[in-house]
Structures are given as structure tokens and as C-alpha cells.
Amino acid sequence: MVRLVRLEGKVAIVTGGARGIGRGIAERFAEEGAAVVIGDLLTEEGAQTAEAIEKEGGRASYLRTDVTVPGDLDALVALAESAYGKLDVVVPNAGIAIAGDIEHLTVDDCRRQFEVNFMGTWLTCRQALPALRRNGGGAIVITASAAATHPLPQSGLYGPTKAAIVLFMKNLALTVAKDHIRCNAIAPGPIVTDLYHFTAAQEQAFVDRWTPELPVGFLGTPLDVANVALLLASDEARWVTGSVYAVDGGFNT
Ligand SMILES: NC(=O)c1ccc[n+]([C@@H]2O[C@H](COP(=O)([O-])OP(=O)(O)OC[C@H]3O[C@@H](n4cnc5c(N)ncnc54)[C@H](O)[C@@H]3O)[C@@H](O)[C@H]2O)c1
């Protein structure tokens, strides 16, 4: 039996890949043969993640990237093509979560929340599409959230950015199918990462708060999300586009 290396020869961009879920995706893709180009604001963590992948025998690069700046994304795409020759897979994953209820969030909170999560996702796709077309096609896997379809009053604007991302993903999937580009989203449930800027006590409270809500009885990890992203990025999913995959321990069932 020949072992299947599911992204052998592919080149992938992962935004927000310096840490958390994005790092999990970058590492998993590299394990399966992809060259990974990480775009993130965090220079130290981004460089460390790329180094860690290379140390394990993978191929990875990091470029400081702000997903709200088109020129940064152009440079990220250019790096993928110059370092590895092409672009096959794009994972718009960078995101922020501004906590707060609807009445107390500010206009700046709203602008920032939508700017990074929604506009950053759209721009990442927009700036990468020409390279995917030059490649003859590819796959886009967007990180949405279980919060796209489940109200969370304490994150009054975060969920709406993810709901917008899901409909955007479907519009994009229909637009680019003729170019052999597939586009899907993953919708993770609660996962302990630095997204929430937790203290140790807050982290425990988060685990205690969410565990009873998850039919499987435990919180997920970045690897749980990465394994589904891997399937959607690979050619095994050649007939899958315009879909949202819950990776949430049954939370939204
Ligand atoms: N952790 C969860 O419970 C959870 C659940 C559902 C969805 N998500 C989504 O998963 C994605 C990853 O989040 P995470 O939990 O790993 O959090 P994280 O904070 O560990 O990772 C987010 C990454 O995005 C980067 N980033 C933020 N703004 C950026 C910008 N303007 N340009 C480039 N990079 C930027 C950060 O530097 C960070 O490395 C986000 O889109 C988040 O909304 C997380």
C-alpha cells in the first residue's frame, strides 16, 4: 500500500498562522507535504512557527502581513510564487474577537471587528485569486466560527462577522467554480487559544462554561480543526465547494 501524502507538492498560504488554529493548520499541511507561507502580524511567533516546521523537515516561510492591507497580501502571494513556484491553497484564518455586549461596544470596535475578520478575509481571497488562476485552480478554506449561526450576546459583533464570512464564501464559491477554484469554510466551536487573551483563571472558567454545552464532552484543539481544513484543501475534496463544516464537538447540532 502506498501512503497517501495529501498535500504533496502543494503550496499554501495561511493567514493568522503564527499561533493558535492557524499554526495548527500550517503544521498539519506541512506534515502532509505542502510548502506553507504564513502571514501574520506577530513577527516573533510567525518566524518561530516557520522555523519549527522547517526543523521537522517541512517547508515554511513567514512574512509580516496585515490582512487589512492589500499590499501586504500581494507581497505574501508573491513570496509563495517566488519561493515555491505557485499557489494552490489559501486559508484566510486571521481573526480577532472583541468581547462586549451590543450596547457597550463602540463604533471603533465595530469597524475593527469587521475590518479584520470580514474585510481581511475578502481581501485575502481577492489578492490571491489571480495566483490561483495562474495555477489553473486551487482551494480556499476560510475559518468561520460556530458563532456564525449561534447567538453569543457577550460577543455581540464577532458572530455577525463570521455570518458575513459564510455568505461571502458561498458567493465566492459560485463565482470561481468555473476557474477550478473550490471555496469552503470551517466553523470551529470553542477552543482555548490566545484569541481571548485569557488569564489562567479565565481559561479554566471558559473550559467549565463550554464543556457541558458540547455533546462530545470536551473542547477541541487546533489539530481538530486542522484535520478538517486538510481534507477541504486536498484534492480528495474535489467535489466539495460552497460548504460550511462544523468542527465543534456537536455544539451547533
Ligand atoms: N478559538 C476559538 O474558540 C475559535 C472558535 C471559532 C473560530 N475561531 C477563529 O479561528 C481563527 C484563529 O483564531 P485563534 O483562536 O487561533 O486565535 P489566535 O489569536 O491565537 O490567532 C489569530 C491570529 O490572527 C492574527 N491576526 C490578527 N489580526 C491580524 C491581522 N490584521 N493581520 C494578520 N494577522 C492577524 C493574530 O496575530 C493571531 O496570530 C480566527 O478567525 C477566529 O475567529 C476561533
pLDDT digits (tens, 9 = 90+) for 19-75: 999 999 999 999 999 999 999 999 999 999 999 999 999 999 999 999 999 999 999
Q: Whose CA is nearest to atom 17 of ligand 1?
A: 195
pLDDT given at position 3: 73
CA of 19 to the centre of ligand 1 (A): 8
Atom of ligand 1 nearest to the CA of 23: 16
Average pLDDT over residues 96-123: 97
Q: Helices 120-134 and 158-176 meet at what angle, rounded to 10?
A: 20
Give catalytic residues, as residue numbers. Answer: 158
Average pLDDT, the chain: 97
Domains present along the chain, CATH in parentheses: 11-244 (3.40.50.720)
Given a cut of 90, is residue 76 above it in pLDDT? yes
**Percent of the chain, pLDDT > 90?**
96
Mutate to test the pocket of ligand 1, among 195, 196, 207, 211 (most ligand atoms within 8 A of CB): 195
Confidence of residue 15 (pLDDT cuts 50, 70, 90): very high
Cβ 115 under 6 angstroms from ligand 1: no
State the CB neighbour count (10 A cutoff) for residue 88.
24
Q: Whose CA is nearest to atom 25 of ligand 1?
A: 16
pLDDT given at position 28: 98
Average pLDDT over residues 210-235: 98
- Lowest mean pLDDT across 110-114, 154-158, 167-171: 154-158
pLDDT given at position 4: 79
d(CA 27, CA 39): 14
Q: State the pTM of this model.
A: 0.98
Cβ 46 under 6 angstroms from ligand 1: no
Q: What size, in residues, is the chain?
A: 253
